[in-house]
Amino acid sequence: MYQTGDIIKASINKIPFIYHYGIILVKDGQEAIIHNSPNEKNNYGGNILVYDLQEFFKSRKIVHVQRTNISKIRILKIVDKYKSMPFSLLAFNCEHFIFEIRDGRPHSPQIKDFVYNFITVLMIIYMIRNRILLKKAGISG
């Protein structure tokens, strides 16, 4: 069903609007998913893990599958590069890891969007607060 290099975007059952990413690796006809998880460490002290698909999907639901031509060699090269790297929500999360494999540079659109939205909300609060203060001071604005 899946092939090596398929990128899986999955929802996390207990956390709405947050997505977890992994990449499929097929070896000897067995499908596994490699992902960067904050919950467990591997034998090298990092958080890059290989899971059986059924185990991975016990707490997640597929949102999207992106077919790619990413080779097994490329995947394993990046896994080896980051195998001892600890998970970091802001600097090295599941998206950073998968997009390093896909694009050659780690990045996380979810974090970027979150920061952008957070700053926007803060600006709106600041503007509303200033408008209220100006009204109280009798200054129209």
Record the pTM.
0.79
> Which pLDDT value is given to residue 101?
97
Distance (Å) of CA 14 to CA 11, 19, 33, 41: 9, 11, 20, 21
Domain boundaries, the chain: 7-107, 108-141
Each of the 141 residues of the chain gets a pLDDT tens digit; together they read: 899 999 999 998 777 778 999 999 998 889 999 999 998 999 999 999 999 998 888 888 999 999 999 999 999 999 999 999 999 988 999 999 999 999 999 888 777 777 777 788 888 888 888 877 777 777 765
What are the counts of helices (DSSP H) followed by strands (DSSP E) for the chain? 4, 5
Give SS3 for 24: strand
> Which pLDDT value is given to residue 141?
53
